[in-house]
Structure 1
């Protein structure tokens, strides 16, 4: 039977594929793909876990005191039987072999299948046996977590795709939510779309899906409960609808729309090497946001003229808390710099904290032990300054990479003059340590992220110490409006068009220009064509976005006259409804399409 699930549309387009459920569990489960050569070892991990739990249960049964109820012994027998049942561990192996899931993910996927089967049983007694299956599976998951799994596919490594394991069917990810670290694993893999129960337009799942031009619906509430493994899904990223097991007529209609979207992407792709120059001759710098060194090649292919944001924190994730050393970081930064062939590479120092913890345990610690509100807690430059050895290690690695090309350093979430002084002192000490060791490095510009209102209001003073600034609109909006962008209960209040937000951005751009300093925007607004005209009207000439968004933004740039845009800016900034005023004033500014 076909059903529809409604949520928030966050990335346009149509995705069609089989559902892959990342089921939530009372045990935290790692999700990653394993390469073909590690399939056997992953199955061995599962076997070792099964044998260990079997021994544990047998020992518990043997050591039962004489006065223990006979039902307890019988229950342990049931758990032992379930543990060795092919429908649990045997079928779990199939997920590992056919989908390349790691053992934990494969087990949780099979648990989801079995749980649904039990829920559909007519016999009440049998339905209640679902709890026994869950308890056995959770014992296995806990052992696997303790057993220190082998590293997930390393950062930058090629992740298996559907065709690599014999499947040609596209896959759609369905989850309660997806952690930022998991998104790095997933974004290079098999998924053509995303559906999550929670989240808003600026959740990390939404941001990654949008930047990769992958259709997505978030905040779908009951999606992971209503959708089953391997259901056929259609994601309508325009309407925010997920159609489960569509009829053949509906499926064909959406396949037609999908083909139309592919033709549009191909048309935009022809612009990738066209210079981004407005109708009145204003050159606009379109830079790329990247997470890993391998993304640099994608940025070049998309026509980026540099990297405006290298999110270095993703080198620190999916490592179980084992931080990368100086040499490992140096190699990653150097590889990205070399790959950009002399174009500028802006490396942001590690932005850890809040919704981007170092590992799975640290998120719980940040939320419950160290901070009531992690978004306002120890994160970004605050965390780096609290770990001076780690921070200087990263700064030395970046400086060493600067010997191979044009490197700039970007400091996240700066708000206090004291933080600026400590940061520049750490950089000076890192330089001195490299000098003492005889290591070469180049000249680097140092910039600050403007992502809290305090920084935007004090940007004139900050520019006394920094060479450039980069506006991080995602956090700037969050902190200006006091909206937790990861909380779907208030995410509808997250408003990039809010007059206060626009004023802070416009003032930052204006002050940077007045001081002759560089300014760019690297948040979501930079890659959203709805804001391109407005940012150009403010005087912005440097945008940084995911490579997949460059062609669409370039098309917009090629069609406008910035002089006419600037003339309408005061009316937009003073309007009660800036979005409506911008639509009224800027729409006529567009020329006829000429870049197809």
Structure 2
């Protein structure tokens, strides 16, 4: 009898394969006291394990084939750099010396403290970066414990197999992809986890957050993995196999057709030009985005310059980083100013007192920058200087009222006057826009649109704040619904407010890169989409096949439905 399981589908595609379970789970970490003459030897043992871990990751990186998307290598590069991060090494050595405990226990304390900080972060994307800490520290711990995780051997006779694990590191994914793994199923993780991002980049069907998967799925049994719907069917009958084999063939034809779209403009059947932009984090991502057909960058996050360090980045360091990324982008690049909060004490080493009860609603993003003007001034000066190297737009996060926007603009103008007096080169025109991710900003969009040069809708936070739920909280994330009527009305109101004021409105949240919502968003009037580069061709295909005029009429009628299920049915039929 077949067993049907559901998790979070994060990478499209169908796999029919045999289960190979990958064991890992919690490490049994001993703790014991050191004698005074053992302390320095233990420090040496820790650094030896750290060196070995870096060697392993460099070996993985050297095996990445030519032509592989650059964001895949970037994950490994990030973990190699984190191996030397002082927030890991210095803290661990301090625990060994000050508390006279063994290296494993010291590293566990460091790991747990860092993870606790990341889990307090209000930005769902940044919160998932706790996985980086877990993976980096876990690799060193396994070396210290002589308990290194073994990857499953390649299946005999080339038979496809699906990995079932508690979690999978970026290095594991890269090595397993070279063994032609058919799918990944993990018990933990979310749509923004590295497992999800890498699986999408590699085109491997993947499901995350499927609790008890290792217990429920037997070794070597045949399963069907639907990476879009998030379904797993164990021990399928012949009827199910035939149905999903047909879907596999259809998906393969679909993927082959996407390649033909690379050089084609995203113009709908009725002649509407839709701008497809990319969300990026590293200069290497700019090349990947351009290869995928993105016309520019709709979101460049700057938080990574501030994280995992005790001192704030200087103006010069920020300028060099921004100038590099701006020079690498051929189109317009929208750079979001610092979107961190007072809860992130690890990032700057400043003393903030106790953590807020609800950091998502506390002193963060533009609120923090306005309260600490020197922090904002340094970043803005660096951004304005970088504007000399390309077409830069500055985006202000978490704007909730016009006063915040105008105050931030006044501070940017003051920084511009300083640079002009110093004779520093910069662009004459750097548009300043507002990120619409707070319901108050969406409702007040007509007023904001009279002052902002552009809007960008951040759906991840807009949905969470509108529905009062945390989508990475397993207890309530079932309520996270992009199709909730309140969410759709706020999106439509924002787009229409921008249109009436004559300013562009983009969307840079996860919803923009999800092909399930593309027709809906086109029907709401959205013409600027910003997404992960791996989603560009998928969305472009839908755009070129759509008649936007007809979609706008259909969506307008659908939004008038009073019955939630009828609304969903109509939207699904677009």
TM-score (norm 2): 0.69
- Partner residue, 1:344: 332
- Partner residue, 1:302: 292
The 3 A distance-change label for structure 1 pair 405 and 465 is same
Whole-Å separation in 2 of the counterparts to 1:245 and 1:398 = 56
Whole-Å separation in 2 of the counterparts to 1:189 and 1:347 = 34
Among 307, 313, 332, the alignment partner of 2:321 is 332
Q: Is the 8 A contact 2:14 2:227 kept in 1?
A: yes
Among 260, 270, 289, the alignment partner of 2:279 is 289
- Partner residue, 1:264: 254
TM-align CA RMSD:
5.1
Q: Is the 8 A contact 1:271 1:555 kept in 2?
A: yes
- Partner residue, 2:34: 57
- Partner residue, 1:485: 471
Q: What does 1:172-571 align with in structure 2 at a 5 Å threshold?
A: 174-175=165-166, 195-198=185-188, 204=193, 208=197, 212=201, 215-223=205-213, 236-238=226-228, 240=230, 261=251, 264-317=254-307, 319-341=308-330, 343-353=331-341, 357=344, 359=346, 369-442=354-427, 443-571=429-557
Unaligned runs of 5+ in 1: 28-49, 63-79, 107-134, 154-165, 590-596
Question: Post-superposition shift, 1:358?
Answer: 7.0
Q: What does 1:2-41 align with in structure 2 at a 5 Å threshold?
A: 6-13=6-13, 23=25
What SS class does the counterpart of residue 351 from structure 1 fall into? coil
Whole-Å separation in 2 of the counterparts to 1:532 and 1:11 = 17
Q: Is the 8 A contact 1:571 1:581 kept in 2?
A: no
Whole-Å separation in 2 of the counterparts to 1:294 and 1:228 = 40
Whole-Å separation in 2 of the counterparts to 1:173 and 1:327 = 46
- Count of residues in Structure 1 that have an aligned counterpart in Structure 2: 481
Whole-Å separation in 2 of the counterparts to 1:104 and 1:338 = 23
What SS class does the counterpart of residue 449 from structure 1 fall into? strand
Q: Is the 8 A contact 2:277 2:297 kept in 1?
A: yes
Question: Post-superposition shift, 1:531?
Answer: 1.6
Q: Is the 8 A contact 1:307 1:544 kept in 2?
A: yes
Q: Is the 8 A contact 1:445 1:467 kept in 2?
A: yes
The 3 A distance-change label for structure 1 pair 533 and 240 is closer
Q: Is the 8 A contact 1:288 1:309 kept in 2?
A: yes
What SS class does the counterpart of residue 308 from structure 1 fall into? strand
Q: Is the 8 A contact 2:164 2:213 kept in 1?
A: no
- 1:366-402 CA distance string (max 9 Å, x none): 9x93211122122221222233222111111111111
Pair member with larger Rg: 1
- 1:247-271 CA distance string (max 9 Å, x none): xxx99x9999878755533321220
Q: Is the 8 A contact 2:370 2:408 kept in 1?
A: yes
- Partner residue, 2:139: none
Question: Post-superposition shift, 1:568?
Answer: 1.6
**1:141 partnered with 2:107:** yes
- 1:513-541 CA distance string (max 9 Å, x none): 00101101111221112221221122111
Whole-Å separation in 2 of the counterparts to 1:293 and 1:576 = 47
What SS class does the counterpart of residue 370 from structure 1 fall into? coil
Whole-Å separation in 2 of the counterparts to 1:384 and 1:103 = 31
Question: Post-superposition shift, 1:339?
Answer: 1.7
Whole-Å separation in 1 of the counterparts to 2:438 and 2:504 = 19
What SS class does the counterpart of residue 574 from structure 1 fall into? coil
What SS class does the counterpart of residue 320 from structure 2 fall into? helix
Whole-Å separation in 2 of the counterparts to 1:503 and 1:462 = 17
TM-score (norm 1): 0.67
Question: Post-superposition shift, 1:58?
Answer: 3.5
Whole-Å separation in 2 of the counterparts to 1:429 and 1:25 = 53
Question: Post-superposition shift, 1:508?
Answer: 0.6
Among 572, 583, 592, the alignment partner of 2:558 is 572
